[in-house]
Amino acid sequence: MSKRDYYEVLGVSKNCSEAELKKAYRRAAQKHHPDRNQDNKDAEYRFKECKEAYEILNDSQKRAAYDQFGHAGVDPSMGGGQGRPGAGGFNDIFGDVFGDIFGGGRGGGGQRVYRGSDLRYNLELSLEDAVAGTEVKIRIPTQVKCGECDGSGAKKGSTPTTCTTCGGHGQVRMQQGFFSVQQACPHCKGNGTIISDPCTTCHGNGRVQERKTLSVKVPAGVDTGDRIRLAGEGEAGESGGPPGDLYVQVQVKEHSIFHREESNLYCEVPISFVTAALGGELEVPTLNGRVNLKIPHETQSGRMFRVRGKGVKQVRGGPVGDLLCKVTVETPVNLTRKQKDLLKEFSGHVEEGGGRHSPQATSWMDGVKKFFDGLAG
């Protein structure tokens, strides 16, 4: 990872105390925490960098080696240190922040604890509920802390014992000459403790499978792709560690009338040939009632009308959007003989106007004529 000076990373002096070091780590970890900086790769990198620096400087032996030899003194590839800091996955990172800083890390008797996994739930909403906001009940399968052993995995009345193979470190080192290899302890499987008398309910796992019902408050204005975070509602941590989080992923169903784009709503409104030619007034729906839409005479198909303030107020704030109605002129169907005769008579009168009544068609035909004249030339 980074080769920046560890003291510089945490913003402390070389003679800082353990309390000053932990305070600096807490401040840096909270600043760069992934939950506060979603989709920010630089913050994720800084977060891991802080974790690495704290792991080294918080260990007296590693700190002494680092002060004397620098990064080479704690680089596992060169035989130094106790293993690569920051080499764990995101679960390990979360475990350190919520554990070491906020009371986890190791349980009683030196037992290692790990933060539980985050969960995801896909929530499908109607457009009406997404725009207005709602509260829904969801039911999810998850691993929860065993109530019988309080997550320790040990039978009630007993406690895990420190592994004699690794001395509670969870890792063992094999060294031959200049080469040193560190691996998870095969006896305790990296936990640092042994459960000799496991809980009969969870069989030593510390967690049991359950389905739980949660109430999710959906704020007004959410849209597809938005996430709602329920802190602490993910899977229970191992060996009594803190739980993960639940992320509710929002998916808004397609609507039969409206189409949403950010804060605006769009819809198509069919109108008759007579209304388009002579003008009129019609009712159009909105998500909170009906409004009257005035259609001026000689309206062409495809014209867009804006109804202000009848759109969506986005969840992140800002003004309420608009409703945009696109009118389409509908061609009459299933005509009677008399209706057809009347239309033919009407068409004759229109043609007598010499194109004055159909300016778009006349302009298009003029363009076609010029095109063919150019080909002939």
Residue-by-residue DSSP string for 293-334? EEE-TTPPTT-EEEETT-S---TT------EEEEEEEEPP-S
Cα separation, 314 vs 320, whole angstroms: 7
User: How is residue 165 annotated by DSSP?
Assistant: T
Specify whether the CB–CB gap between 104 and 113 falls below 8 A: yes
Mean pLDDT, residues 251-277: 90
User: How far is residue 94's CA from residue 91's CA, in Å, rounded to a whole number?
Assistant: 5
Average pLDDT on 293-311 reads 90
Q: Is residue 377 very low, low, confident or very high in pLDDT (cuts 50, 70, 90)?
A: low
The topology (CATH level 3) of 1-87 is: Helix Hairpins (1.10.287)
Q: What is the value of pTM for the model shown?
A: 0.54
Q: Which CATH class is domain 259-376?
A: mainly beta
Per-residue model confidence (pLDDT) at position 266: 93
DSSP letter string, 117-129: PPEEEEEEE-HHH
Of the chain, the percentage scoring pLDDT greater than 70 comes to 81
Domain edges within the chain: 1-87, 259-376
Average pLDDT estimate for 55-81? 72
| pLDDT averaged over every residue in the chain | 79
At residue 306, the pLDDT reads 92
pLDDT above 70 for 243: yes
In tens, the pLDDT along 324-370 reads 999 998 888 898 999 888 888 888 877 776 666 666 766 777 776 77
CA neighbor of 11 nearest in space, from 101, 26, 265: 26
- The pLDDT confidence band at residue 92, using thresholds 50, 70 and 90, is very low
Residue 223 pLDDT exceeds 80? yes
CA distance 270 to 284: 10
What tokens were used for 92?
């390990």
Is pLDDT larger for residue 247 or for residue 316?
A: 247
Q: Which of 5-9, 78-82, 127-131 has the lowest mean pLDDT?
A: 78-82
Q: How confident is the model at residue 14 (pLDDT cuts 50, 70, 90)?
A: confident
| Confidence at residue 349, expressed as pLDDT on a 0 to 100 scale | 78
pLDDT (0 to 100) of residue 76: 61
Total length of the chain: 377
Token readout for 204 is 């030593």
- HSE value, Cβ hemisphere, 13 Å, CA-based, for 147: 2
Average pLDDT over residues 214-242: 85
**Residues 98-126, mean pLDDT to the nearest whole number:** 63
Residue 175: its pLDDT value, please?
A: 67
25-37 pLDDT per residue, tens: 888 888 887 777 7
**What's the pLDDT at 112?**
59
